[in-house]
Amino acid sequence: MRIHDLLQVAVDREASDLILTVGSPPVIRRHGSLVRLDDSRLTPAETEGLLFQVLSETQRLDFQARGQISASYGVFGTGRFRLNGFRQRGTVAMAIRIIPSSVRPSLQMTLPESVLRLALGAGGLVVVCGSPSSGRSTTLASLVEAINSNRAAHVVTLEDPIEYLHKHGKSVINQREIGTDTTDFETGMVAALHQTADVVVLGDLVPAVTRIVLDAAAAGVLVLAVMTACSAVEALTQLANRFPPDQQPQAQHQLANSLRGVVCQQLIPKASEDGQVAAFEVLTVTAAAREHIRQGRWADLRKLLEDSSEQGLTSMRRALAALVAKGAISEVEAGMRSTAVQVS
């Protein structure tokens, strides 16, 4: 069994993921649903062999020492993939994300204009959040392409691993992979500022870089960063709570001054056809939003996002309702997603 053959099948079937684990057939995720490729059952020797087909000797040693590994991987003529290999119950398993060969031009995608505008500012922090597999990486890459098409800038990305490959356009884009090109996000972020980056793109806004990111955004660098959070307000409370209690008022003040906006997204099955559609909650920092952030009035900020008709402020509930009105998603799906956001 060859991993390349399985990856080709996954690509041909327009899958988003390939999952390989002992005792189960190869499984793909297609439009959000799991589909078995056949009736076979993978053996421990097969899953280990499939993983080792794509790892270098150094990566094999790393996997054997740590029991897990993340890496990007490309197959000529097939595509690029984000690989996560790990041990479970003493055997090897893999989850592989299929990465489209290119990013469609941003303005042709379903990104709201309010989201695209966030990326075209000269400086500040833009957070893209959601759950894993919600399309955050695609949105982030699309925002990079929007910059690349509209602005002459030096863009430095820090990714773990690199997913989409960007070509130089109006901008010069340097892509750095954690563990290969730099040791960690914190080191890479500090280096990017010394490299005179106009734009820094973080595949993960880890706690260690929070203060550096806020300082850079306040100094005029545009920082685009991914976080795991189920709402825009939750992302901001997470950032504020990364600081000790006596430093939180200062952190909130700096966050209010440097933040351009937060985008939170979900991928939802379409109502009448295969595929998924994205719903976007958008919090653009208006004067009222800025004051709520500065004072740490998170409940008031949430209410503003829900009730305001001001441009650039769209709650997830209203985004879902708009998709239902268009017939893009069902009322049942919208209700489930709205409830999940409210509970969290």
pLDDT at 180: 87
pLDDT at 101 over 70: no
| Dihedral sign computed on CA atoms, order 285, 290, 292, 298 | positive
Q: What's the token pair of residue 17?
A: 């993921």
* Residue 218, φ and ψ in degrees, nearest 5: -65, -25
pLDDT at 205: 98
What's the whole-number average pLDDT of the chain?
92
Residue range 226-278, pLDDT digits in tens: 999 999 999 999 999 999 999 999 999 999 999 999 999 999 999 987 888 99
CA torsion angle for 206, 211, 214, 219 (degrees, to 10)? -130
Residue range 34-74, pLDDT digits in tens: 999 999 999 999 999 999 999 999 999 999 999 999 888 88
- Which of 17-31, 74-88, 207-221 shows the lowest per-residue confidence on average (mean pLDDT)? 74-88
Confidence band (pLDDT; 50, 70, 90) for 109? Answer: low
> Could you say which DSSP state residue 55 is in?
-
CA torsion angle for 187, 193, 196, 197 (degrees, to 10)? 80
Domains of the chain: 3-99 (3.30.450.90), 106-343 (3.40.50.300)
pLDDT at 341: 60
- Looking at the chain, the whole-number percentage of residues with pLDDT higher than 90 is 80
pLDDT at 107: 39
* Residue 98, φ and ψ in degrees, nearest 5: -85, 125
**Whole-angstrom Cα distance, residue 154 to residue 196?**
7
pLDDT at 106: 39
User: Which residues have a Cβ under 8 Å from the Cβ of 22 and sit 6 or more positions away?
Assistant: 41, 42, 43, 44, 47, 89, 91, 92, 93
Q: Are 34 and 48 in contact (CB under 8 A)?
A: no
pLDDT at 108 over 50: no
Taking residues 1-10, what's their average pLDDT? 92
pLDDT at 296: 97
**What global pTM score does this model have?**
0.85
pLDDT at 10 over 70: yes
pLDDT at 250: 97
| Nearest residue to 236 via CA among 263, 270, 209 | 263
pLDDT at 105 over 60: no
pLDDT at 200: 98
**Whole-angstrom Cα distance, residue 304 to residue 314?**
10
- Looking at the chain, the whole-number percentage of residues with pLDDT higher than 70 is 96
Confidence band (pLDDT; 50, 70, 90) for 339? Answer: low
